[in-house]
Amino acid sequence: MGKTAVRIKDIAAKANVSVGTVDRVLHNRGRVSEEVRQKVLLMMKELEYEPNLIARTLGSNRTYQLAVIQPDHTLDPYWQAPRNGLEKAARELKQYGVQIAVYSYDVTQVNSFLEQAEAATKSEPAGILIAPLFYRESLAFFERWQQQGIPYVLFNTYIAELQSLSYVGQDSYQSGFLAGKLVQFGQPQPGTFLIAHIAEDIANSVHITQKERGFRDYFAQLAPTLDGPADEPYKSPYNIISLDLPHPSEPAFARQLNRLLDDADIQLKGIFVSTSKAYEIAPYLQAYRREDIRLVGYDLLEKNIHFLHENIIDFLINQNPKKQGYRGIYALADVLVFKKEVPLLKYLPLDIITKENLQYYVDK
């Protein structure tokens, strides 16, 4: 049986005071002597009284305006899922006074990010949820929010040195490490494995560099124990290269991929796409009839799902973008509205998606 809820009148009876006195102590209002206040607090502790914060919140007319800064979902379909998640959270939290304003930026234009982050800051929100894809440009805003006492939660990209309230998303390093295992799994023959970055500012994208580091570290730890001389250098049979591709609409994108696939000396065994754009690489493998090249990427976008069914994409790592938006808003609400503590890191699972288990993950 569950524990019986402690009522205010139970505390009053135990402390031998009126219900009104307990209410004044609870809400810190009215005149109560220090001796009586301490007595009531002691009885609350003994009885393990837990205030009904939800009921209290519903009774107040306070509103909490939250700002969300994320890439524009109309320009990149990946960002539709986080938006769906934060809108779902907003509907559920509306009764508690939570309101959300979304500030969308063009992920290819740093000025767009700066304008939207500035607009969000000037709105003086109670809290901010942000996907800080522009690392350098984000730092000044983080400092301003900290000075202004505005709590902020990160999603999609974790920046370790910040004093954010929380981070919601994947462990980028571990997801890159997992991608290495998936792209090499069942392929013991030596060869080349490619990390493909598509239209990314790598130097300014912390989550992308962490993925690449994890991918490379997976292959680095495959070095066998050598029986030969200790000073003999180890030469890995796996050649890891990275390629910074431009936007797929640019002619250089096709030229670089065609050159890579035409070069038989490279012995390309697998490709890891560091973002949700594996579907941009898939048509080239299909055209070259290179089903032998394993392709691993991220996210359950419609185009990725198509090539998963076509056996061109072998594995997708699901980043749970909808949950990132949903839980990011709830992290702010838990602190601001419900006065709860939230974990500094909220890592989401690394789901491995194949054609065979896809149906269990697709959001109907």
Q: What's the CA gap between 260 and 286, in Å, rounded? A: 14
Q: In the CATH scheme, what is the code of domain 8-51?
A: 1.10.260.40
pLDDT of residue 240: 95
CA quadruple 251, 255, 256, 259: dihedral, nearest 10: 180
Domains 8-51 and 62-169+321-348 agree in fold: no
DSSP one-letter string for 57-94: HHHS---EEEEEEEE-TTT-GGGHHHHHHHHHHHHHHG
Q: Rounded to 5 degrees, what angle do the CA atoms 171, 272, 167 make?
A: 15
CB-count exposure of residue 48 (10 Å: 0-12, 13-18, 19+)? exposed
Say if residues 40 and 17 touch (Cβ distance below 8 Å): yes
pLDDT of residue 291: 87
What are the domain boundaries of the chain? 8-51, 62-169+321-348, 172-223+235-318
- 343 or 187, which is more confident: 343
Q: What is the pLDDT of residues 171-189, one digit of tens each?
A: 999 999 999 999 998 877 7
Q: Are strands 152-155 and 64-71 parallel, antiparallel or unpaired?
A: unpaired
Q: What is the pLDDT of residues 232-270, one digit of tens each?
A: 666 778 899 999 999 999 999 999 999 999 998 899 999
Strand order in the sheet with 351-353: 238-245, 191-198, 268-273, 294-298, 315-318, 351-353
Q: What is the pLDDT of residues 148-178, one digit of tens each?
A: 999 999 999 999 888 899 999 999 999 999 9
Task: Tell me which fold the domain 172-223+235-318 belongs to.
Answer: Rossmann fold (3.40.50)
CA quadruple 195, 351, 328, 128: dihedral, nearest 10: 0
pLDDT band at 102 (very low <50, low <70, confident <90, very high): very high
Helix (H, G, I), strand (E, B) or coil at 130: strand
Q: What's the CA gap between 278 and 78, in Å, rounded? A: 12
Q: Are strands 315-318 and 294-298 parallel, antiparallel or unpaired?
A: parallel
Position 56 pLDDT exceeds 50: yes
**CA 221 → CA 229, 239, 241, distances in Å?**
19, 14, 16
CB-count exposure of residue 348 (10 Å: 0-12, 13-18, 19+)? middle
pLDDT of residue 14: 86
Q: Are strands 315-318 and 351-353 parallel, antiparallel or unpaired?
A: antiparallel
What mean pLDDT value characterizes the chain? 89
Say if residues 240 and 215 touch (Cβ distance below 8 Å): yes
Which DSSP state fits 14?
H
DSSP run (H or E) holding 166: strand 166-169
pLDDT of residue 1: 42
Comparing CA positions, the residue from 205, 173, 197, 170 lying closest to residue 273 is 197
Say if residues 66 and 99 touch (Cβ distance below 8 Å): yes
Q: In this structure, how many other beta carbons lie within 10 angstroms of the beta carbon of residue 215? A: 27
Amino acid at 310: E
Domain 62-169+321-348: CATH superfamily is Response regulator (3.40.50.2300)
pTM for this predicted structure: 0.81
Position 39 pLDDT exceeds 50: yes
**CA 138 → CA 50, 147, 300, distances in Å?**
39, 15, 28
Q: What's the CA gap between 357 and 360, in Å, rounded? A: 6
- 228 or 34, which is more confident: 34
Task: Compute the chain's Rg from CA coordinates.
Answer: 26
